[in-house]
Structure 1
């Protein structure tokens, strides 16, 4: 499976950016209360993308034998949970457009942190020293 590492890594990165792009679009629709946000496909597509993203991430962790999990990967997973929680408020649980917008911005900032952790391999994200 190691021979497919680069292919899987690039699919994982593509899924991550697709997830972010679609999140930003859905957050925009949510903040401006556009009726398209209630369509079934808008609610289904993110689950497909995010399932692929998570599955590919797990496959990468298995290929690279990440057990026990390194600190940077624990930070990435923790930040992912925070991103999901912020995203649910930004998309559907926020009571006002202003609240949804603020939580959407916070979620995007957490995504940027996750990206830094993934690239730098340190929990300090963009502000840390590369450890791998």
Structure 2
């Protein structure tokens, strides 16, 4: 697989992951039964697996590694924050107000990851 094709797959999965999170967050806040649909529960795992797999292959193909390159380290740490905030937003938050705060934090973490990926600079400009 060419690096360019892999990068397009990765970027497509980034968009699908972010849009899927936003949709699930909306459904959670609206108390929609669609949040419990089997496809809603399984599709994000498929997209995120492709996202992570493509990221790992790009790291290997490019020879740029987290904890060696600061911008990749920032993306990994941002990803961990995004996952934690997303779990609190969609599953673990006790009230809708708490969940809404974590939705905002997850969206900010997602935006940070994308900005670091585009700029290759871990510092907010």
TM-score by length of 1: 0.89
Show the 5 A alignment for 1:1-132.
4-67=2-65, 69-125=68-124, 127=125
Gaps of 5+ in 2: none
SS at match of 1:124: coil
Give the C-alpha shift of residue 39 in structure 1: 1.7
SS at match of 2:15: helix
Kindly provide the CA deviation profile for residues 67-106 of structure 1, in whole angstroms up to 9, marking residues without a partner as x: 4630110110011000000000111111111211111111
Aligned positions, number:
124
List, as ranges, runs of 4+ consecutive aligned residues in structure 1 with deviation greater than 4 Å.
none
Gaps of 5+ in 1: 128-132
Give the C-alpha shift of residue 52 in structure 1: 0.2
Report the Cα distance in structure 1 between the residues aligned to 2:47 and 2:23, rounded to whole angstroms.
14
TM-score by length of 2: 0.94
